[in-house]
Amino acid sequence: MDAASILIVEDEPVVAKDIQLSLQRLGYRVPATATSGEEAIRKAGDTHPDLILMDIVLKGKMDGVETALQIQRRQDVPVIYLTAYADNHTLERAKVTSPAGYMLKPYQANELRTTIELALHRAQHDRHMRERLRWIATTVRCIGDGIVTTDRGGRVTYMNPAAEDFTRVTQEEAVGMSVTALMVFSEDEATQEGNNPADQAMTEMRLVTIDEAMVMSRQGERRVIRGSVAPVVDDGGAVLGAVFVFHERVPGDQRLLPSSGRDEAIWKMEERLGRPQGIIHLCSWCKRVPDQSGEWYDLATFIAERSAIQFNGGLCPDCMDQCFPCDGRHT
């Protein structure tokens, strides 16, 4: 594994040289040193260090805090402040940059190594978390189901594009809006009690399944949906909000009562055709099925090619829990 590279920003050449020698004895690389904020920004862009050791008091127009802010706007690199100043005003200013560490001079070599190693580890962990969140965010944006998240008061905090298309309301318009204002649930169809499934999920601390519910958009459009709502809780069990996943019931999948004798006959025929009988060989491991020629297909493809059933991509409750664990780390 390559040694971590560390940029030193220190306006006293003798001190900078001492720090450089200490880092090299500890096994780190020092590709460059800088004595001013402007020079530090330039050399950080040229060398792309793994970490920056930054003095707060620098010569020139920018101090260490302002320099760290400018660098962090350009690249993702942790900063450790190594300074002789620990007054409250300096500490409050340093907090703005979310430093990876704050050490006072004079420093001890073993203390410096510990601080650097922890900072590098946390930076790597944070990068992995951000990458994971990007994957989840992209999946949520592309998924066919509508997804709405709320705070503990039932107010919308996020909507994916599918939910925007369904409600005809943009996320910017919906944020802060009550779910019941976004979609009006029929009082006798939404859930077992009340007409707000998000409230029910948070109150009862359980997954609430919506088999079929009539909702009305703000424009007065009535549509039938199905889906589920799950509470989001923190490590202590306190409710943070809810996640509502839903999709519209397609005409071929609806189970509404027929309104006439002809409709009833068609409905019964669709019911019979929708429930074919017989035995299908299903692999217990991969969940694929064979056709008459012996070629194996995944179950969704097999069903879609032999029926009028359409599959709408989405997440089941277990997968929702994997992507959005109810542990309070995100809403």
Residue 175 pLDDT more than 80? yes
The pLDDT of residue 191 is 43
- Name the average pLDDT for the chain: 80
Of the chain, the end-to-end C-alpha distance in Å amounts to 36
Strands 156-159 and 146-151: antiparallel
pTM value?
0.60
Instruction: Using the Cα atoms of residue 239, residue 190, residue 165 and residue 306 in order, give the sign of their dihedral.
Output: positive
CATH code for the domain defined by 6-133: 3.40.50.2300
252-305, pLDDT tens digit by residue?
Answer: 554 444 445 555 555 555 555 455 545 566 676 676 777 666 677 777 776 666
Residue 88 pLDDT more than 90? no
Residue 193 pLDDT more than 50? no
For the chain, the structural domain boundaries read: 6-133, 143-250+313-323, 253-305
Q: Would you put residue 220 in left (φ > 0), alpha (ψ -120 to 50) or beta? A: left
CA–CA distances in Å: residue 110 to residues 18, 24, 113, 117, 213: 15, 13, 5, 11, 63
CA angle 204, 161, 163 (to 5 degrees): 40
CATH superfamily of 143-250+313-323: PAS domain (3.30.450.20)
The pLDDT of residue 314 is 60
Residue 123 pLDDT more than 80? yes
The pLDDT of residue 222 is 79
**Rounded Cα–Cα distance for residues 305 and 301 (Å):** 6
Q: What percent of the chain is helix, strand and coil (3-state, nearest 5)?
A: 40, 20, 40
